[in-house]
Structure 1
Amino acid sequence: MEARRILKGELARKDIDYKKFSKLLLDLGIDESPGAITNKLSRGSLSFAFFLQCMKVIGRPNIQIALD
C-alpha cells in the first residue's frame, strides 16, 4: 500500500495521467494499458519491480520509503 501511495502521489505531483503514464511505460518496453494501471493502483497489487520501473519513467530514480 505504501508503494501505491507513493506512486499515485508522484504521478499527481508531476501532473501525469494514466494515459500519458502508459505511454511512458511503453517507451521502457512495458505494455500496460491505462485501465490496467488504474486496476493495479486501486487494488494495490503492483510488484516492487514494477514500482521501480514506474519511478524510473517518471524521473524519480531516488526515493525514500519510511518503514514504520
Structure 2
Amino acid sequence: MAATSADFADRAKRYLKAELKRAGVGYKELAERLTAMGLPESEGSITVKINRGGFPAWFLIAAMESIGASSLRLSD
C-alpha cells in the first residue's frame, strides 16, 4: 500500500517529537529558541504545528538546528 501525505505528516510529527525529547526540549523552550533565532513562535503555535504534523520543511530544519541536532534519521 502506498503512503499518503497524512502518513508522512505523522512520521514528521513523530520524528520531531522524538528529537525534542532526546534533547530534553519542551515546546515552550523550543518557542524561545526559535524566537531567539529570529523566527518568532509561541508555545501555542508550536503545539498546533507539531500536533497537526503538517508543518513546513523550514520549521523542521529550524527546530532541529535550534536543539543542536546535526541529522535526522528517517527510519523507525
1:64 deviation in Å? 2.4
Q: Which amino acid aligns with 2:34?
A: L
Alpha-carbon distance in 2 for matches of 1:15, 1:38: 16
Kindly, what percent of the aligned residue pairs are identical? 35
Q: Measure the CA separation in 2 of the matches of 1:32 and 1:45.
A: 16
Which one has the largest radius of gyration? 2
SS of 1:16's partner is coil
TM-score after normalising by structure 1: 0.86
Report the TM-score when normalising by structure 2. Answer: 0.78
1:54 paired to 2:54: no
CA-atom RMSD in angstroms: 1.1
Shift of 1:24: 0.6
1:45 matched residue in structure 2: 54
What stretches of structure 1 move > 4 A for 4+ residues in a row? none
